[in-house]
Amino acid sequence: MSETSTNVMTVRGLTKSYGATSVLKGVEFSVARGEVHALLGGNGAGKSTMIKIITGAASKNDGEIHFFDGEGGQRSESEGRAKVAVVHQELALLPHLTVAENIALPHHRKGMGLFRRSAAVRQAFDALRMIDQDSAATSLHRLVGSLSLHEAQMVEIARALSSGAELILLDEPTANLTALETERLFAVLRKLTQENGLSVVFVSHRMKEIRQIASVCTIIRDGRTVVDRQAIRELSDVEIIEKMGQVTASHATEPTRVSAMILEAFAATDSITVQEPGFSLELRPGTILGVAGAPAGPAALIEELTGAAGTKRWTVVRAGWPDRLQSPRRAARLGAGYITGDRAHKGVLHSLPIIDNVMASRRVVRGAAIAGGAEGAECLDLLKALKVKAASVWDLPNTLSGGTQQKLLIARWLGVPSRLLVLEEPTRGVDIGTKREIYQLIRQMAASGTVIVWWSTENAELLEVCDRVVAFDTEGRCAGVMEQDDFSEEKLVTLTGMAA
């Protein structure tokens, strides 16, 4: 059987440059029908650029892309792209439309076509229930703008699954999902690949998930293919990481160095107490508190800690603070920082240059509206500490990879005098090497006296980084607190009611 009769797409010698910067340097990539294919590489390796070219969102400089039908016949690029759906790392939903309308959009591409609301609802329900039956029954008529990041991710995936595509490109699809939602998604993908012949390209930095869902992998490094269609089982995690050009934890002997400007110690009496009826937890300076569980509980706690809560469920007590942090601005000036997990819509300021993104929190805390004379040097120091490579601090953030944009959000609070820093999925969509750098930076900030509150859907991450973990059940209730000497993924699964 020929390669073209089994492949849904092949990419040969793909090149792409932006000015003097060469992003893709002859990439080779092919996807067989009915497989889940892991596309791996560090931040900035060229994965997202290749996906944009495949879908027609960007043009190539050179190379070939071929699409094939079920009999091995070649399709034109326009015909082939019509059979491709993509879920980007940053969601592409329309917040002013309902869930049903967003999911049904691919079925109504003609401008003069009649939009039938009842048909849209049926299509959306059928797509969404493949992933989450409860969500399909309750959220179809909600505006997407009212959804949590986790709920919006499921809508985006459901839209891709409903589009009639033969090839789906999933760029960090589980980054905003809980473990249970991820498990459901994987079950759907297995069914569609095995029974319907759907092909899936799965981009992720989570090795455990890669092994759970993918059978074959391609690894891109510095714009070149270094592993071409190799079975996942033939490569160890260490081999994959090394081929990506990353440094494993066992090799990371030198901690990230941050200048004296970055770290500022606080008095040992600056403890923070969070409490609700029946529950109280004291957080001493330097504590890293993990938060685990479905979104309802963690989100309510985070909103209270950052001054964004509409209703008062939690009480946050610290000497010198008011009974309630009434706004994010007020919270920031009192020393409560926040790094959102919704990088695209609530985090990165896409229309402003890198320097404005990095210095934003400082300006709020200092009460400054415009750049100060020393900001350029300060910004460069922060970028250097986080190993961010940018041609200029005046470049826009979209010149950086998604994982590198996440570093900009970390940089905002690095060195800002903070009593409390709340992190929501801070390692979402970053490669393994960058994760280790972020872990080290957060530990250094905690060592300076900052209380860290860290919400993550990766149980293993919480148990590695945190001193203690508070777990919420699926109803959003506090189910218990695990101390470091009692950590286990099994116990965390029991408390949260979600798969590890």
pLDDT in tens, the chain (500 residues): 455 558 999 999 999 998 877 899 999 999 999 999 999 988 778 898 899 899 898 999 999 999 998 888 899 988 899 899 888 766 788 888 889 888 887 665 555 455 567 777 888 888 888 777 777 888 888 998 888 777 787 888 888 888 878 999 998 887 667 777 788 888 888 988 998 899 999 998 778 889 999 999 999 998 999 999 999 999 988 888 888 876 544 433 333 333 333 333 334 446 888 887 777 888 888 889 999 887 778 888 888 888 887 667 777 777 778 777 778 888 888 888 888 877 767 788 888 889 988 888 888 887 766 656 688 888 888 888 888 888 888 988 888 877 788 888 888 888 777 788 999 888 877 777 778 888 888 888 888 888 899 998 778 888 888 998 988 887 788 888 888 888 887 788 778 866 54
Yes or no: say if 196 and 170 are a contact pair by the CB < 8 Å rule: no
In terms of DSSP bridges, do strands 36-40 and 199-203 run parallel, antiparallel, or are they unpaired?
parallel
Q: What is the pLDDT of residue 246?
A: 64
Cα 5 → chain centroid: 35
Q: Are 157 and 87 in contact (CB under 8 A)?
A: yes
Report d(CA 306, CA 323) in Å as an integer. 13
By the 8 A CB rule, do 406 and 426 touch?
yes
Number of H helices, E strands in the chain: 18, 19
Phi-psi region of 444 (alpha: psi -120 to 50; beta: other; left: phi over 0): alpha
Q: What is the pLDDT of residue 435?
A: 82
In CATH, what number does 3-247 get?
3.40.50.300
Cβ count within 10 A of residue 492: 24
- Rounded CA-CA distance 297/304 in Å is 11
CB 282 within 8 A of CB 463: no
**Cross-strand partners of 216:** 37, 231
DSSP 3-state assignment of 332? helix
The pLDDT assigned to 152 comes to 82
The packing angle between helices 149-162 and 117-128, to 10°, is 110
What the block records as the tokens of 310 is: 């509409």
The Cα 404–Cα 426 span in angstroms is: 12
Q: Is the pTM above the cut of 0.75?
A: no
Residue ranges per structural domain of the chain: 3-247, 272-496
Assigned CATH class of 272-496:
alpha beta
Asked, colleague to colleague, whether 3-247 and 272-496 share their fold, the answer is: yes
